[in-house]
A and B are shown apart, each in its own frame.
Chain A
Amino acid sequence: MNLTLKIWRQNGPNDKGRMETYPVSDISPDMSFLEMIDVLNDALIRDGKDPVAFDHDCREGICGMCSMYINGEAHGPGRQITTCQLHMRSFKDGETIYIEPWRAAAFPVVKDLAVDRSAFDRIIQAGGYVSVNTSGNTQDANAIPVPKADADAAFDAATCIGCGACVATCKNASAMLFVSAKVSQLSLLPQGQPEKNERVLNMVNQMDLEGFGNCTNTGACEVECPKGISLENIARMNRDYLAASVTAD
């Protein structure tokens, strides 16, 4: 396949940035999207040019590091996949592909397609945990049975990989899907109950401080989420938030 790539280049958070055009040829349909970028970078380096910087690590859709906005979609065409799981067979020979970084005020560009998502870490630090110290003496794991439906729903919420596609795709750059996934996971489990109220208040507060936008229920986040995290989590978090707000000291 021969393709034309239009790629966002930006030297750092203070650079204005611009789209640049790169032709690539002899691309195999079995290549992953990132392997296609590898081929481009290999050629750029041999030509003495600056390769395209992008984040990636596991290349199997679980670490959440890869983050490309391809032809106007977070992680490109295809549903429930990350950029690294996208393969070139999803494109046509001769096509022009537009590649941009996640765009959100809370995710400043590091370089080219790599952005700073440490805001997500700070939201988890605000309360995305159960306060239990390490000890060999917590009670037996089977001491509290958890209904399978709750355990499964908590697991589904917990599969969030923190990639930020929800923010990137949201017209408001809202982080509600990400935050609600963690809030829901812990809210559905007995172990999460003691800190349920403070958790949701603190995490939502941190989310607002980081500069993420509000949720207007368009549902774009759910569509683009590589792990299929459900919008129901946002509804659950809103209920928890309301309940916590009216009972707060």
Chain B
Amino acid sequence: MSLLDPKIPKGPLESKWTSHKNNIRLVNPANKRLIDVIVVGTGLAGSSAAASFAEMGYNVKAFCFQDSPRRAHSIAAQGGINAAKNYQNDGDSTYRLFYDTIKGGDYRSREGNVYRLAEVSANIIDQCVAQGVPFARDYGGLLDNRSFGGVLVSRTFYAKGQTGQQLLLGAYSALSRQISKGKVTMYNRHEMMDLVLVDGKARGIIARNLVTGEVERHGAHAVVLCTGGYGNVFYLSTNAMGSNVSAAWKAHRKGAYMANPCFTQIHPTCIPVSGDYQSKLTLMSESLRNDGRIWVPKHMEDVKAIREGKIKPREIPEDRRDYYLERRYPSFGNLVPRDVASRAAKERCDEGFGVNATGQAVFLDFASAIERYGKTEAHIKGLHNPSKEDIQKLGKDVVKSKYGNLFQMYEKITDDNPYETPMKIYPAVHYTMGGIWVDYNLMTTIPGLYAAGEANFSDHGANRLGASALMQGLADGYFVLPYTIGEFLADDIRTGAISTDTPEFAEAESAVRNQLEHFINNKGSKPVDDFHRRLGKVMWDKCGMARNEQGLRSAIEEIRAIREDFYANVRVPGKLNEFNPELEKAARVADFLELGELMCIDALTRNESCGGHFREEYQTEEGEALRDDENFAFVSAWEYKENDPGKAVLHKEELMFENVELKQRSYK
């Protein structure tokens, strides 16, 4: 074990980033033309980084596995993006956004990074508006805001329930502009299969053209991974089907440390599982908790009657309902952070109050919001003594304008109309706070390899607040990496193009080919999804919303067994040199099967509860997470060893808190 240095600049919190920028090395514009950068992934972090690098003059090669960079999974983010603009004059500031994020992350993130994030948040909104991102506006033509979990101000900018889409299309348009200028070469339907190191530095990647199956070599002076999170290790998650850990895991195997891999976010408001065939879960934006009230029946006989379909939820009178978040957390109510809301739902369902056939669902109810908005609208329209129907209609119109697309999405999936009956929701895996360890410059433990967006670990600690992922992705890509990458590239102005005709590239390419050929030639009997489902179940049951020592130990054994079975018995149809989606899946699941084990090891090592990491052995009397700041105020960074995730070596980065006082997080 060694101590890791995050290289956070000295000086007061407020001036760290400014003074760092003033002292960072620059590359002269003529020399930037001699330098190549590879960006893997084209979500918010990847598109914005690739576009910004190209604008600065670097030659960029960008890669995505989808058929277009616009389809990266950032597109699915719904609710919004935070920024400390204080447009609502409700007392917001850079410091408050910083403080909320540190507290929301349960004091397991770095002060320096988080303050920088809060600082550049306002620039992001300016940049996006300048690109033509159509944020929601009020009648005066100015930008509108809403509130998200874990905060007491309105600082979230949004575009209905499609904020991620609008921001990504903004970044995609900036990227497209650079592609048209020839400054970015875009490789659609290409998957990174391995990282290539030359003299200990990241100097290129091996990629597979997913259409032709060809394995290609690509050299560059630096490699930036913006490859998202690894929630699909749980098989069922709100991630897209193709979201995977492979690029990050390949980098990990080559020497990049993985930090806090067990920190996963279980989002409280998702559509519950309906059957064994289920391929993914769908999120209902946290913004719904602005207006929706979460409840289960107070009495078991009502639960039974609901499950048997004898009564409808709306028929249960107010005094027989348990609005458990409002009961337990009066000051934040339905807007407690995600980890708290998820655990509270699990607690009610574990006690038997779940409201669907599987017992794993709670209600999210808009009836009172519809009535409240309806009355306000009637007042605005000057209707005296409006009828109940008028109020309902006006109220539904308001709710529709705020959340229309989410309500439609819910109805399409469940065949229930959420304007008339409460939604049924349950927590699901959504985001991974853990990821590749990076220093203040977002450089990993491999020189020349950077990680940004969800792929890195740095800003959200043990729990991410709502509307902060979009902020971090764009902050990293637009406003951090373009500065910090110069520090490394300044040494490369005389290096010349990186040749791919070297033993390092040849070796990496042949290892990739060997693995793929193994899958094709392995005449097993079971499809890839079989193994993925089994892994997911182990992870959800034993390394999900609640974890304990015994469960984690058995999970590690089970995962090792599934891995062995996978290599022996997986069946991958088709050929290497063709469009072969099953082969893509096999390579991704192979990496999930290693990551899963490391996540369990990490969860087992962290003998405390913090944020999304809830160890049942460590809780307060009220069932809240019990942190151990004395022994665990550090980042766990794991080094891969001996071709076996079970042999990973732990390194620590001590977390220094110079500006905030560590407290038990309270949302009561």
Which A residues have a C-beta under 8 Å from some C-beta of B?
12, 28, 30-32, 34-35, 38-39, 41-42, 44-46, 48-51, 53, 55-65, 78, 80-81, 85, 87, 89, 110-111, 114, 116-118, 120-121, 124-126, 128-136, 138-142, 145-148, 151-152, 154-155, 158-159, 161-162, 185-186, 189, 191-192
B569 nearest CB across to chain A (Å)? 12
Q: A62-B165, A136-B479, A185-B134 are in contact. Are A148 and B139 (CB under 8 A)?
A: yes
Closest to B171 in A: A134
Partner of A133, one of B55, B123, B173, B176: B55
CA distance A63 to B67 in the complex (A): 11
Partner of A117, one of B68, B136, B174, B581: B68
B55 engages A134 (CB within 8 Å): yes
A residues near B142, Cβ cutoff 8 Å? 142, 145
Q: How large is the interface on B (under 10, 10 to 19, 20 to 34, 35 or more residues)?
A: 35 or more
Q: A85-B413, A151-B134, A154-B134 are in contact. Are A191 and B129 (CB under 8 A)?
A: yes
A150 nearest CB across to chain B (Å)? 9
Closest to A46 in B: B527
B residues near A30, Cβ cutoff 8 Å? 274-275
B579 engages A110 (CB within 8 Å): yes
B277 engages A64 (CB within 8 Å): no
B492 nearest CB across to chain A (Å)? 22
Q: A124-B173, A134-B48, A141-B126 are in contact. Are A185 and B412 (CB under 8 A)?
A: no
CA distance A64 to B69 in the complex (A): 11
A residues near B172, Cβ cutoff 8 Å? 124
B214 nearest CB across to chain A (Å)? 14
Q: A85-B412, A141-B85 are in contact. Are A58 and B73 (CB under 8 A)?
A: yes
Stretch at the interface among B278-286, B303-311, B318-326, B627-635: B278-286
B412 engages A63 (CB within 8 Å): no
A91 nearest CB across to chain B (Å)? 14
Q: A58-B240, A60-B282, A132-B131 are in contact. Are A141 and B165 (CB under 8 A)?
A: no
Assess whether B51 is interfacial by the CB under 8 Å rule.
yes
Closest to B242 in A: A57
A193 nearest CB across to chain B (Å)? 10
Q: A42-B527, A155-B160 are in contact. Are A145 and B176 (CB under 8 A)?
A: no
A residues near B661, Cβ cutoff 8 Å? none
Closest to B572 in A: A45
A104 nearest CB across to chain B (Å)? 15
Assess whether B137 is interfacial by the CB under 8 Å rule.
yes
Assess whether B478 is interfacial by the CB under 8 Å rule.
yes
A129 engages B176 (CB within 8 Å): yes
Partner of B68, one of A38, A46, A50, A118: A118
CA distance A105 to B478 in the complex (A): 37
A210 nearest CB across to chain B (Å)? 14
B residues near A120, Cβ cutoff 8 Å? 68
Q: A53-B579, A87-B413, A141-B143 are in contact. Are A110 and B125 (CB under 8 A)?
A: no
B75 engages A63 (CB within 8 Å): yes
CA distance A136 to B529 in the complex (A): 45
Contact with A along B109-144 (1 / 0, CB 8 A): 000000000001001011111111011111111110
Partner of A129, one of B173, B282, B408, B409: B173
A50 engages B574 (CB within 8 Å): yes
Some 8 contacts from A to B, beta carbons below 8 A apart, are: A45-B527, A57-B240, A60-B409, A134-B174, A136-B126, A145-B137, A145-B142, A154-B134
Assess whether B211 is interfacial by the CB under 8 Å rule.
yes
Assess whether B177 is interfacial by the CB under 8 Å rule.
yes
Q: A35-B278, A114-B579 are in contact. Are A121 and B69 (CB under 8 A)?
A: yes
Q: A53-B579, A134-B51, A134-B127 are in contact. List 5 more A-B contacts (CB 8 A).
A: A28-B277, A58-B71, A59-B282, A85-B413, A129-B177
B643 nearest CB across to chain A (Å)? 29
Q: A60-B76, A134-B48, A134-B174 are in contact. Are A148 and B131 (CB under 8 A)?
A: no
CA distance A116 to B413 in the complex (A): 28
Assess whether B252 is interfacial by the CB under 8 Å rule.
no
Partner of A130, one of B71, B132, B137: B132
CA distance A34 to B282 in the complex (A): 14
B180 engages A125 (CB within 8 Å): yes
B269 nearest CB across to chain A (Å)? 14
CA distance A78 to B571 in the complex (A): 36
Chain B residues 428-480 with CB under 8 Å of chain A are 478-479
B75 engages A145 (CB within 8 Å): no
Q: A81-B412, A141-B125 are in contact. Are A121 and B48 (CB under 8 A)?
A: no
B residues near A158, Cβ cutoff 8 Å? 134, 159, 166, 169
B75 engages A58 (CB within 8 Å): yes
A residues near B486, Cβ cutoff 8 Å? none
CA distance A156 to B208 in the complex (A): 37
A199 nearest CB across to chain B (Å)? 11
Assess whether B567 is interfacial by the CB under 8 Å rule.
no
B581 engages A53 (CB within 8 Å): yes
Q: A48-B573, A65-B67, A136-B120 are in contact. Are A59 and B177 (CB under 8 A)?
A: no
CA distance A114 to B51 in the complex (A): 28
A63 engages B173 (CB within 8 Å): no
CA distance A30 to B526 in the complex (A): 25
A57 engages B71 (CB within 8 Å): yes
Chain B residues 34-83 with CB under 8 Å of chain A are 48, 51-52, 55, 66-71, 73, 75-76
B residues near A89, Cβ cutoff 8 Å? 415
A38 engages B279 (CB within 8 Å): yes
CA distance A41 to B582 in the complex (A): 10
Most buried by A among B240, B415, B571: B240
B residues near A60, Cβ cutoff 8 Å? 76, 280, 282-283, 409
A residues near B132, Cβ cutoff 8 Å? 129-130, 154, 185-186, 189, 191-192
B residues near A80, Cβ cutoff 8 Å? 408
CA distance A111 to B132 in the complex (A): 36
A residues near B277, Cβ cutoff 8 Å? 28, 31, 35, 38-39
